[in-house]
Every structure is written in C-alpha cells, then in structure tokens.
Amino acid sequence: MTSGSLIGASANSGRVAALRDGCIVVLTLMAVSLAAVLSLPQASIGRAVPQAIIFPPWMPQQDAMARSLAAGHRVLRGGISPFIVIAAAAEAEAETVRPRGALLMLALDGLAGCLDSRASVEPFL
C-alpha cells in the first residue's frame, strides 16, 4: 500500500517540477524580449532625427505609407521590408503621432543600415 502512494507522489512532484521549469523558461523569454524592445532607440522628443515606423508584417506597403501620411509624417521611402516606412525628421515643435496600426516608431540613430536598405551606395573606383 505504501509503495503505491509513493509512486503517485513521485509522479505528482515530477509534474510540479516540469510546470515550474516551464514557467521559468516562459518568464525568462518574456523578460529578454521586453528588454530587447526597450533597448531600441525610440523616437526622441525635441530632437529632429529620421524615424522608422514599423507596422505589422502583413500590412502592404501602400497601406503603411498611407497611414503614415494620414498621421502627418513626411514619408521619405519604404524600408528594408514592405511594412517599414522611413519618415523625415519632424520639426522640434511638432508633436509626433503614432500612425494607426504602427507597432513601433524608432529613431534611425545607429539603425539606418538595419532598417533602411535603400540608401544609395557609390561604387569604389
């Protein structure tokens, strides 16, 4: 009789340990993802720098540009992917409004090569 209850207790503690380990993994992944997003250069207030406006990946480029224009941004071109829009720097006194449906608005300080592939490159002669 005692051996049956020990087997049940052992199986139950194994499930609890697996659940605990799974929760630790999920919480770690969430913390790392949040830290990565928060470390990106956000659109700065009071400093005029070009911005990358990032929309969901399923949004067509025409819709992303139209929404950026509707929010009052001066669109320069598309980014490296169809759902990224490169907008000109806003004036210091103008308030930047996030376009409807945009996930992120990032300053292009240090990220220009990652988000903006359409920069002209002169060949070396």
Q: Which two tokens stand for residue 66?
A: 């139209």
Partners of residue 77 on adjacent β-strands: 86
Q: Which residues have a Cβ under 8 Å from the Cβ of 44 and sit 6 or more positions away? A: 107
- The mean-pLDDT minimum among 25-29, 72-76, 105-109, 115-119 falls in 115-119
Neighbours of 63 (CB within 10 A): 14
pLDDT tens digits, 35-88: 877 776 665 555 567 888 999 999 999 999 999 999 888 888 888 888 989 888
* Average of per-residue pLDDT values in the chain: 76
The domain spans of the chain are 1-39, 51-115
DSSP class of residue 42? B
